[in-house]
Amino acid sequence: MTYVITSACAGTKDGACAQICPVDCIRDGGETFLIDPDECICCGACVLACPVGAIFDEVDLPGTEQLWGDRARAFFAGDAP
């Protein structure tokens, strides 16, 4: 499992999550930051650092935010536009 940054990040992109990540798995994905699902160690540091509450454990993603997990996977697989 991994953490996923959702739509609440769009327009904010504070960057605190990327600064605190111990494995440097958070990248600028354009509209939002994205978490590399293969590198994330699920430590939760990013969740606490996010000022807008945009980060969820993948299993706890609200239904309307499921696409953000797919976007992160595509981005890090090199399939994102």
Q: Could you tell me the CATH number of the domain that includes residue 7? A: 3.30.70.20
List, for residues 11-43, the tens digit of each pLDDT value.
Answer: 899 999 999 999 999 999 999 999 999 999 999
Q: What percent of the chain has pLDDT over 90?
A: 91
Domain of 43 in residue numbering reads as 3-77
What domain count does the chain have?
1
pLDDT band at 80 (very low <50, low <70, confident <90, very high): low
Give kind and range of the element (H or E) at residue 4: strand 3-5
**What does 14-73 look like in DSSP terms, one character per residue?**
--HHHHH-TT--EEE-SSSEEE-TTT-----HHHHH-TT--EEEGGG--GGGHHHHHHHH
The angle formed by the CA atoms of residues 77, 32 and 12, to the nearest 5 degrees, is 170
For residues 65 and 4, the answer to whether their CB atoms sit within 8 Å is yes
